[in-house]
Amino acid sequence: MSEDKTITRRWNLVRILHARRMGVTVRELMQELQVTDKTVRRDLDFLREQGFPIEERTEDFGRKYWKLRSDWGQKLLQFDFQEAAALYLGRQLLESMAGTPFWSAANSAWRKIRSTLGDSVSKYLDRFPSVFHCTPAGHRDYAGKADLLDTLTTAIEDYRAVHITYQSGQSTEPATRDVYPLRIIRKDTGALYLVAFAPRDDGIKTYKIDRMDGVEISSFVFQIHRNFDVDAFLAGSLGIYDGDDDLAVVIRFHPAAARHARESRWHRTEVFESQRDGSLVLRLRLSSTVEIRSRVLAYGAAATVLEPESLRAEIVDELRRMLHSYSAPPVVSAPDALARPTEPNAAPTGRPQTSRNAARGPDPTANPPLGNDR
């Protein structure tokens, strides 16, 4: 823990030096960092040894100022030090894109930044994960889908139709279909989805990248949906599933869960209403109940849907099925009867979701309740 504090303190020192273009005295650094003269000088010596271009300037009466060389860390893109360092440190936030062309491009940029900063400074910055750590939740490795994603990206840019080999959650075998790719979306779970127009169904659907076995670009250039607005498409969604309804959803959270619910980001239409008893009422307007159903069930008895009645009925029905599942004694299969692991492109539940006139299924990446995979 003491090492973490030292790293943070030295980082703050570098930030101060960078911000004070005319320089700063040791006494001023002592006051801002709340440390001793000895600590400031030791940190300055350490950072200079690591390769930080810290300059010392002596003014009248022997007054000394310290500053970071203003042109350091700036090359073709004119990043200053803080911008370059922030981008370098932020690489762990993109680990969920591992294996994609975006990841490769990001790694190339980080290598350039590392070259600019220098090996010593980069090694110093590499120690920051001990202070800022990203949990692996939501990280996916799409290394096996890199070529597929590259093909889809090209098709989207050129408005070219593609033939995709896709196995939906309820299918036993993959099938080939023609679609017009519009966007690739990353959900908060880390999963990537293709949003595409399906001519056969005359609707826009979402296809989970994990379930694609192959993609081929056709010579056909489509003209429709060139101005596709993904924000408008997902305006009534909690994540990836669009619907045709306009639902006023009202949820009451028990006092014990009120703070957690308020801290969460639900939807752009969210309105919180604190109640006298300490509970919390959340109001939303959504186009589908698929994702909100799973989120409400995750709170257990601490959340109750007040409106609409259709969502209340869905949750009651799900709870009945859950109660039935738990009413029977648990059965554990013998080791030789265990099922083989599911193949990567054959997810256990869910299927492509249609935005217009199509049945909705649960989101397999959001731990949906059982029994809803239609």
Residue predicted with more confidence, 44 or 132 = 44
Same domain, 229 and 252: no
Say whether both 56 and 30 belong to one domain: yes
Residue 136 lies inside a defined structural domain of this protein: no
Domain co-membership, 157 together with 220: yes
Residue that is written with structure tokens 């957690």 in the block:
260
Task: Establish if 333 belongs to a structural domain.
Answer: no
Pick the last residue of a domain from 42, 68, 94: 68
Which of 233, 265, 282 terminates a domain? The answer is 233
The pLDDT mean for the chain works out to 80
pLDDT-derived band at 156, boundaries 50, 70, 90:
confident
Check whether residue 126 and residue 64 sit in a common domain.
no
Do the domain assignments include residue 13? Answer: yes
Q: What is the pLDDT of residues 20-76, one digit of tens each?
A: 878 899 999 999 888 899 999 999 999 988 888 898 888 877 788 998 887 665 554
Distances (CA, A) of 93 to 75, 290, 293: 24, 28, 28
Q: Are 60 and 23 in contact (CB under 8 A)?
A: no
In a domain, 125, yes or no: yes
> What's the total number of domains in the chain?
4
Q: Last residue of a domain, which of 171, 200, 233?
A: 233
- Is the per-residue pLDDT at 98 higher than 90? no
Whether residue 347 is found in the same domain as residue 258: yes
Contact 200, 168 (CB under 8 A): no
- CATH code, domain with 217: 2.30.30.520
The reply to whether 22 and 111 lie within a common domain is no
Residue 374's pLDDT is 32
The mean pLDDT of 83-105, rounded to a whole number, is: 66
Q: Give pLDDT, residue 346.
A: 40
Question: How much is the average pLDDT of 351-364?
Answer: 40
Kindly report, residue by residue over 178-212, the tens digit of the pLDDT: 999 999 988 877 788 999 999 998 999 999 999 99
The CATH number of whichever domain residue 40 belongs to comes to 1.10.10.10
Q: Do 126 and 153 belong together in one domain?
A: no
Per-residue pLDDT, 268: 92
Is pLDDT of 99 > 70?
Answer: no
Confidence of residue 352 (pLDDT cuts 50, 70, 90): very low
The verdict on 216 and 253 lying in the same domain is: no
Judge whether 268 lies within some domain.
Answer: yes
Q: How high is the pLDDT of residue 280?
A: 97
- Judge if 220 and 264 occupy the same domain: no
| 192 inside domain | yes
Asked if residue 105 and residue 35 are part of one domain, the reply reads no
Is residue 169 domain-shared with residue 260, that is, in the same domain?
no
* Predicted local confidence at residue 101, as pLDDT: 58
Cis peptide upstream of residue 308 (ω within 30 degrees of 0): yes
pLDDT score recorded for residue 361: 40
Let me know if residue 335 belongs to a domain: no
Tell me: the pLDDT tens digits for 332-346?
776 655 455 444 444
Give the range among 218-222, 306-310, 330-334 with minimum mean pLDDT: 330-334
pTM confidence score: 0.58
Q: Count other Cβ atoms within 10 Å, centred on residue 31.
A: 11
**Domain containing residue 163:** 143-233
Strands of 131-290 (E only): list them. Answer: 160-166, 175-186, 192-198, 203-208, 212-221, 247-253, 271-274, 280-286
Distance (Å, whole) CA 328 – CA 306: 31
* Inside any domain, residue 137: no
Q: Do both 211 and 286 map to the same domain?
A: no
